[in-house]
Amino acid sequence: MHRSNLCQLCGCVRPITDEYISKMEESMFKRLAMLVACGLLIGASALAQDLRFATIGTGHVTGVSYPAGGAIARVAARQARALGLRVSVEATAGGGYNLQTLLDGEMDFAITNEYLVGKAWSGTGPFASAGPANNLRFVMRLHEQVMFVVAHPNAGIATFDDLKGKKVALGGEGSDAAAITDAIFAAKGWTQTSISEQPGRIGNAVMDLCDRNIDAYIVVDGVINSGITEAATACDAVLVPVTGAAIDTMLAAEPGLRAASIPNGAYRGMSGDVQTIGTSALLVSSTNVDSRTVYDVTRLTLSDVNRFTILHPSLKPLTAERMSSGMPEGLFLHAGAESYFREAGLQ
């Protein structure tokens, strides 16, 4: 029988050549690559859907609010993979800017202070044009803040009233210092022209002060501020008290502000406590931020409070009990924070 007829009847085995093997391997690799790529795409899509991002507005990098926000992000990062939560911080002009950006929906958390929160909640002061911020919510209390008036030793500034006519940096619009200084000016009957306000970022203030480009600068921050340490060391800058009858009248009318002091020895050249005014730094959010995210940030911070507080000297006095108390009068607690406070027996 002819071979072709035999193949039709019984079938013939094709010779297995090197070329044939190469083509089969190439086909298999292509199929495998397609399957892997599809799997990666599906996995990445699912991960992207599960991953949550939260941004905290803080302050200038030389202040306390920036490392405080960084401390929150750092403790959150320990469980970020398991929770699908990534917390990041943003250096900003200060608490006023943070509040406005939060209320505009461009930030998830804001580090600000009790005075500014009261103004935003009531729609007064710097927030008069925006009206009451009804969606603002309390999350936790942070470090204590004081007002520093830092002057060049040769500027002839011994009291707050000596700032009249001087070149003073306030940190610009959105800073904590600018907002609180406005309240002091109003109490004293001053106007914006009472001083020669110098524009520019507060980050340049130490150099400007030591170079005599400005006579003084004002900052509201935690008691331990690296910029003031630098100013005291570099050019013997002095701390000016914030006291007097007009200040007392203002404090009586502003529940978010109180008398405070900078303890002797905190900075080089001090000969005693410096009397000033203060407030409390707060972490706030809004009803636009989901409860799960706020719960996670609150739980991760307060359940690991010892790790949180060692990351900056101004945070050391904080405890979970202290951080969960002292919500400004009238303000509401965020539902996510409330859930954790109840769970942890803090409320």
Domains of the chain: 51-343 (3.40.190.10)
Q: What are residue 277's DSSP bridge partners?
A: 259
- The pLDDT score that the predictor gives to residue 75 is 93
Task: Check residue 209 and report its DSSP letter.
Answer: H
Quickly state the pLDDT bin for 107 (edges 50, 70, 90).
very high
Distance CA 327, CA 312 (A): 23
- The pLDDT score that the predictor gives to residue 80 is 81
- Pick 293 or 19 by higher pLDDT: 293
Task: Say if residues 258 and 147 touch (Cβ distance below 8 Å).
Answer: no
Helix, strand and coil content of the chain, in percent to the nearest 5, comes to: 45, 20, 35
Q: What are residue 217's DSSP bridge partners?
A: 150, 169
Distance CA 195, CA 234 (A): 25
Instruction: Give the distance from CA 221 to its chain's centroid.
Output: 13
- The pLDDT score that the predictor gives to residue 347 is 79
Of 186, 139, 51, 56, the residue nearest 337 (C-alpha): 139
- Pick 290 or 43 by higher pLDDT: 290
Strand 332-333 versus strand 238-239 pairing type: unpaired
Distance CA 72, CA 75 (A): 5
- The pLDDT score that the predictor gives to residue 35 is 44
- The pLDDT score that the predictor gives to residue 198 is 87
Each residue's pLDDT tens digit, 262-271: 999 999 999 9
Task: Say if residues 320 and 347 touch (Cβ distance below 8 Å).
Answer: no
Q: What is the pTM of this model?
A: 0.85
Each residue's pLDDT tens digit, 180-199: 999 999 999 999 899 999 87
Each residue's pLDDT tens digit, 322-346: 999 989 989 999 999 999 999 999 9
Across the chain, what does the average pLDDT equal?
88
Distance CA 270, CA 151 (A): 13
112, burial (CB in 10 Å: exposed 0-12, middle 13-18, buried 19+): buried
Each residue's pLDDT tens digit, 215-243: 999 999 999 999 999 999 999 999 999 99
In this predicted structure, the answer to whether residue 8 has a pLDDT above a threshold of 80 is: no
- The pLDDT score that the predictor gives to residue 44 is 41
Biggest alpha carbon distance in the chain?
124
